[in-house]
Amino acid sequence: MITAAPDGFRLDRLDTPIGAALIVTDEDGVLRALDWEDHEPRMRELLRLHHGAVELRSAPVPGDIRNALRAYFKGDLGRLGEIVWRVNGTPFQRKVWTALPGIPAGSTLSYGALAARLGTPRAMRAVGHANGANPISVVVPCHRLIGADGSLVKYGGGLHRKRWLLRHEGVKV
């Protein structure tokens, strides 16, 4: 398991149309977490689970990450792909998280369909659990996973944000 830099991770905030985002980067300027201000305890718990005891030090987010996120929220959806990110977790979690950016903006996929893509067609619940433990909201687009019946199910930042993100990306919800 990779641990945090000795001096901890850096924390900054970014105002978005759906609330203040908390952005955590490491000493190399790599994105480690993105969550919502009203879900800060959840974000801190995910960081603890993935990295152990982590100190968050207030520091500005690197300009390239800030600029890409601002551009995304203004409609330049492809800019998320420019953000370098790194996650810890189980091999299966990392497999799910690595697959999520392969779901193009403007489209969705069911948990079962992603499980099938990963070669584990019966693991839709495991995909759901991994998706729920994703520490990098928006950039690792867990909001693009939906129920088999097309319903919006579960989103760590709240269903109102999931609905907004999907509509912003052109999905009819």
Q: Where are the domains of the chain?
A: 9-82, 91-168
Beta bridge partners, 15, equal 20
Distance (Å) of CA 142 to CA 7, 56, 162: 29, 24, 9
pLDDT of the residue at 173: 87
Q: Is it true that domain 9-82 has CATH number 1.20.120?
A: no
Q: What's the pLDDT score for residue 7?
A: 57
Name the catalytic one among 24, 105, 142, 146: 142
Active site residue 18: no
The dihedrals phi and psi of 78, each to the nearest 5 degrees, come to: -70, -15
pTM for the full predicted model: 0.92
- Looking at the domain that runs over 91-168, which CATH code has it been given? 1.10.10.10
Residues of the chain with pLDDT under 70: 1-7
Q: Note the pLDDT of residue 5.
A: 45
Rounded Cα gap, residues 112 and 90, in angstroms: 19
CB 139 within 8 A of CB 34: yes
pLDDT of residue 1: 38
